[in-house]
Structure 1
Amino acid sequence: MRSILLILCGGLVAVGVVLAARGTMPTGLATAPATSGDKAALGRSIRDYLMANPEVLVEAMQELERKQDSQRDTVAQKAIQENRSALMSDPESPIVGNPNGDVTIVEFSDYQCPYCKRAHSAVKSVLAADSKVKLVFKDLPILGEPSRIAAFAALAARAQNKHLALHDALMEFSGKLDRDRIMEIAASVGLDIAKLQKDMDDPKLKVLIERNMALASALGVRGTPAFVIGNQFVPGAVDADTLKRMISDARTKG
C-alpha cells in the first residue's frame, strides 16, 4: 500500500475528485489562490480537512489505484493485440502443455524471483489437471547476473530436450544461485554440462531474451512474475484457483 506521503504528493488530483464527488470540498479549494498568503491558507484548509476526515486519504488512494490500473490495462490490451504472434507463437520460446491448446498462457519470470517460485507450483498443478492449456515461457532475467546465467542455461537446455526439467529444478531450488550452483542443478537433471555451456554461448539466446525484454516493456511489466492469459494481462503471482478462473474466463470470451 502506498505511503500517505506518496498519496499527498502524487494523488492530490484524486483527493479533489473524491471531495468533489462527496460534495465536501473545503472552502477555498475550488478557486485558484491569488497570492502566497492564499496558498498558505489553502494548504492549511486542506490539511485541517484531511486531519478531520482521514478516510478521504484511503478513498483517494483507491481512486488513484483504479486510475492507474485502468491505464495499465489499456496499454497492455493494445500491446497484446499488436504483439500476439510474438507473445504466443515465437518458435524460439519454450512451451509446455498442449501446443494446440484452446487457451494460451504466457509467463514472464526470473529464476531468482520468490514470487515466481510461489506461482510456479500453481501453474504446474493447473497444467497437470488441464490438458487444453498451452504455456509459453518468456525468460525475463531482471534480478542480476545469476538470473541471466540461469535463463541462458534453461534456454540452452532445449538442445538436450531438458528445458522443462531444468526450469522446474531452478524454480524449486530455494537457495542462492550462482554459476556453479546453476551448473550443479543442471547436472542433477541429467544435462551434459560441457555441451550446455557451449550452447549457452549461442547468440540467438541473447536476442531472444532481448525480445522478451521488449515485449515486457510494451506490456508495461514492472516486475516478475507477469502473465498473459488469453487476452488478459495479469501482473504478479497467481494461485491455482485464480488461474483456473481466468482460464475459464478466457474460454468463455473466446
Structure 2
Amino acid sequence: MADSIFTSDRRRFLQIGIAAGALSASGIPAQAQDNPMPADLRQDLEQEQLGAVLGNASGDVTLTEFFDYNCPYCRVMVADIHQLISEDPQLRVVLREWPVFGAGSLYSARASLASLRQGKFWQFHTGLMGIEGQADDKSALPVAEAAGLDMDRLRKDMDDIVIARQIEHSWILAENMGLAGTPTFIAGEFGAFGRQSLDELRGMIAQVRRSS
C-alpha cells in the first residue's frame, strides 16, 4: 500500500538550480502522516500547464510521475503507464521531467518538453525510453528525427527560458516534498518511490478514489 508522503512541518519552497545531480537518487520518501497535502502544493503538482498531461484531462484522479530518461526503472514502466491510461478512462497522468542522472538527462528533458510544442511528445518519449545506453544529445536527436520532429524548431525551442523554468519548477516541487529519486509516483495523498508493479499503481489510484 502506498504511503502518504507529506509531513506536518512542510518546508517552504526553496529556489534551487537545475544543475544535474543536485539531489540524490537514493533513499525513501517520508513515512505516512495523518495530515493531507496542502492545497497550494497539490495545485502546483497536478495543474500542469507546460509539461506532458496524458489520459483524460478532466479525469477524477491525477497520477504524477517524476522521471528521468536515464532511470532504468522509469524506462521499464513506460508500458505500464500506457496500460493504465488505456484501461482507465478517468485517469489523468502528469509526467514531470526530473533530470537527476546528469547532463544527458537534462538535455533529454529539454528535448522532451520541446517536443510537446510539435504535438509529438509521446512518440519522442517512448522512443527515447526504449533506447539502449545513455540518453543524451547523441541519442536524443536521432530519436527526435525518427519521431518526425522539425529539428530546427526543436533546437530553438530547447533553448527557450520557459523550458528551463519548467524543469526548475519540477526540481522545486521535488525538493519541497523531499522526494528520494526517480521514479516517484504521487496520486492524491499517496506516493511511492522506485519500480512499481501495474497492480501497485492500480491500487494507489483505487486508494485515492476510496478516500475521496
TM superposition score category, shorter chain reference: 0.7 to 0.9
- Counterpart CA distance in 2 for 1:189 and 1:163 is 9
Alpha carbons of structure 1 residues 237 and 81: separation in structure 2 relative to 1, 3 Å: farther
| Aligned counterpart in structure 2 of residue 198 of structure 1, from 117, 131, 156 | 156
How does 1:86-101 map onto structure 2 within 5 Å? 86-101=44-59
Higher CA-based Rg = 1
Q: How big is each residue's C-alpha offset from its partner over 1:91-150, in whole Å with a ceiling of 9 and x where there is no partner?
A: 112100000101100110000000111222211111111111000011000101110010
Q: How big is each residue's C-alpha offset from its partner over 1:167-205, in whole Å with a ceiling of 9 and x where there is no partner?
A: 111112222223121100000111111110011000011
Q: How big is each residue's C-alpha offset from its partner over 1:201-237, in whole Å with a ceiling of 9 and x where there is no partner?
A: 0001111111100100111111100011122121112
* Residue in structure 1 matched with residue 62 of structure 2 by the alignment: 104
| Aligned counterpart in structure 1 of residue 174 of structure 2, from 193, 198, 216 | 216
| Aligned counterpart in structure 2 of residue 244 of structure 1, from 183, 195, 202 | 202
Note if contact 1:122-1:238 (Cα within 8 Å) is conserved in structure 2.
Answer: no
The yes-or-no answer on 1:169 pairing with 2:123 is: no
Measure how far apart 1:70 and its partner are. 8.7
SS in structure 1 of the partner of residue 179 of structure 2: coil
Gaps of 5+ in 1: 1-67
- Counterpart CA distance in 1 for 2:53 and 2:30 is 30
* Residue in structure 2 matched with residue 27 of structure 1 by the alignment: none
Note if contact 1:162-1:191 (Cα within 8 Å) is conserved in structure 2.
Answer: yes
Gaps of 5+ in 2: 1-26
Q: How big is each residue's C-alpha offset from its partner over 1:43-70, in whole Å with a ceiling of 9 and x where there is no partner?
A: xxxxxxxxxxxxxxxxxxxxxxxxx979
How does 1:77-92 map onto structure 2 within 5 Å? 81-92=39-50
Note if contact 1:225-1:236 (Cα within 8 Å) is conserved in structure 2.
Answer: yes
- Counterpart CA distance in 2 for 1:80 and 1:155 is 27
- Counterpart CA distance in 1 for 2:206 and 2:31 is 23
In the alignment of these two chains, the number of paired residues is 186
* Residue in structure 2 matched with residue 129 of structure 1 by the alignment: 87
| Aligned counterpart in structure 1 of residue 105 of structure 2, from 143, 147, 150 | 147
Task: In structure 2, give the amino acid aligned to 1:150.
Answer: S
Greater share of helix: 1
SS in structure 1 of the partner of residue 114 of structure 2: helix
Measure how far apart 1:78 and its partner are. 5.8
Task: In structure 2, give the amino acid aligned to 1:218.
Answer: N
- Counterpart CA distance in 2 for 1:166 and 1:124 is 14
Q: CA RMSD in A?
A: 2.0
Q: TM-score, normalised by structure 2?
A: 0.82
- Counterpart CA distance in 1 for 2:197 and 2:158 is 32
- Counterpart CA distance in 1 for 2:30 and 2:119 is 41
- Percent identity of the aligned residues? 31
